Structures are given as structure tokens and as C-alpha cells.
Amino acid sequence: MVAGFDIANAGPFLEAKGLGRGPYQIKKLAGGYWNDVLKVSNSSGTYVVKCYRAVLKDSLFPNLPDAEAAALKRLSGLGVAPEPFAFWPDDGILVYAYVKGKIWKDDLAGMAALLRRKEAADADGFRIVPMTSEGILAEGDALFARCEADDLVDRFQKGRPTAFTLASPERLSLIHTDIGATNLIGQGEDLRLVDWQCPARGDVAEDVYSFLSPAFQILNLCEPLNDQGREHFFDALDMPAVKRRYKALEAAFAYRMAGYCCLRYQTVGETDIAVRDRYIRAAGAELERI
């Protein structure tokens, strides 16, 4: 946590910042791979206090506090993300409303409706991410170039998808880029997408990919969706052009995500065997999609 801010002394820090008077009830939340997240309650409400940490250099999922704060403001009132409350950039701390509910499990219709609501957001001003097979594969190549050769890495590089020409999407969307189950809280119309630390201006098909990706599901401690579940999702989404782009780009997205997973299992360290094994399983699951 930032200097002067931890569970033991968070109350005085937050009170001085204007979050309301104490006493505070503070609980550390689980689920994230990088940042420290606290649930903080006092007489004025219940909040999430997010403290940013450094991530893997040149990560596929950068930690962008300013962009997350901007995304929450842009999404305010759309029923997509938590409502923002405060952002203290010098301290690396973001505060937003706590979202009640359970982690997403099988509400495919609710997820489809959330993505449709999200399309109302203005994407101008956010970083632009690759939207062509060539650009997506190039990001994957850069990740694999940082990996040490082993059997799994070699299998991916031998099976690298071939780039092809695909027209740009009809519109650019504000995308989350990291829609794993633990970033989805609630159900139905109350479903919300949290942890917007790497938003972008890009192809909504990328958000569809991250939601359906077996690697994302495994890394979020879920079992990957089967083909029937995928089709139920697309039926509920009812965006044929997005489905076509997803189908066309799936192998490129899978290759890139596999490069990230391979780099992570090689760098996560031997002290966290469970996380390392999860990344290995996630990479193997993406191989089956290519």
C-alpha cells in the first residue's frame, strides 16, 4: 500500500481525504492479481478503495489509474460499472461505490445486456489497441519473444495463426479488455463490471473474447464455457457483426493471450505453484482454441 495507508491506519487517512467521519469498518477484498482493494464502510456509505501497484513491464494488461478514473466517469449512470466517488492520483488511490452481489457464474443474458449498455459510452480519449489480426498477432509475438523456449511455447509458435485482412469495426467502443468472472458482480440488470484499470478504445469483439476465453475463465477460478453456452451468449447479445468479428479474430486473440500466460507462468516464481499451474492450464486451453 502507499506510504501512510494500510488497514491499520486507513481510517485517519480516509477521513483526512474527505471520505466522511469514522469509525470505519475495513476489509481487504480478494480476487485481483495485482492491486490492493479494500471494502470500507462508515456512516456515509460503503466504498471500494483501490490502491495501485506496479504490474509486469509492458504487460498486456497495464495498470492505468487515470484511465480507470476516467472510464468510471464516462460510464456513470449507464448501469455498467461502479459509480465513482474520489480519485487521488498523487496517492495512487481510487474510491468508488461498493457493488453488492455475488461473483458472476452463469448469467449469460445478463452479461450480453451489460455489453449492449456499455456501447452507449463514448470511447474518445482512451488508448487505442490493435483491432487487426496482424496487430493482435504482433502483440502475441512480442510476448512470446520474452519467453524462454519450452514445449508449450514451441507448440504455440509452430501453430501461430496466419494474419489476414479484415475491415475495421463499424464503430470504436470503450472496452474493458479484462472481463473475467471475478470482475463481474451481481446478476441481471444489476450486473456490474469492475476493475477498469486497463480500458481502451477498440473493438467490442475483444471484450467478447475476454469474456468467452477459456484462459480468462481459468484464471478467474471458473470452468470454461462450452460451445452451447457460447451460442446462448451470442443469441442473447444479438449483435451479428460483433459475432462475425469475434469468430474471425478468435485465433489471433487466443495466440496473444497464450503469450501472456506463458510469460506469466515463467515469471510468477516458484513460490506460488498454484498460480503458476493456473497460468500453464490457461495457456493450454488457449492452444485448443487456435
| pLDDT tens-digit readout, 57-69 | 788 999 999 999 9
**What are phi and psi for residue 149, nearest 5 degrees?**
-65, 130
Render pLDDT for 223-236 as a digit per residue (tens, 0 to 9): 899 999 999 999 99
Q: Does residue 3 surpass a pLDDT of 70?
A: no
Q: What is the pLDDT of residues 102-147, one digit of tens each?
A: 999 999 999 999 999 999 999 999 999 999 999 999 999 999 999 9
Name the residue type at position 40. V
- Which range among 45-49, 192-196, 202-206 shows the weakest confidence by mean pLDDT? 45-49
Least confident range of 48-62, 127-141, 184-198, 204-218:
48-62
Please check the confidence at residue 167 and state whether its pLDDT lies above 90: no
Query: 2 pLDDT exceeds 70?
Result: no
Burial class (CB in 10 A: 0-12, 13-18, 19+), 6: middle
Per-residue pLDDT reduced to its tens digit, 235-267: 999 999 999 999 999 999 999 999 999 999 999
Per the prediction, the chain carries an average pLDDT of 92
The tally of CA atoms less than 13 A away on the side-chain side of residue 170 is: 8
In this structure, which amino acid lies at residue 209? Answer: Y
| pLDDT of res. 6 | 67
Is residue 74 pLDDT above 60, yes or no? yes
Give me the pLDDT at residue 44, please: 84
Q: Enumerate domains of the chain plus CATH numbers.
A: 10-97 (3.30.200.20), 108-289 (3.90.1200.10)
List, in order, residues 6 or more apart from 171 with CB less than 8 Å away: none
User: 69, 58 in Cβ contact below 8 A?
Assistant: no
- DSSP result, 83-140: PEEEEETTTTEEEEEPPPSPBP-S-HHHHHHHHHHHTTS--TTSPB---SHHHHHHHH
Position 31 scores a pLDDT of 58
pTM of the predicted protein model: 0.92
Q: 70 CB contacts (<8 Å, ≥6 apart)?
A: 125, 126, 199
Backbone angles phi and psi of 6, in degrees to 5 = -155, 180
| pLDDT for 1 beyond 50 | no
CB 19 within 8 A of CB 32: no
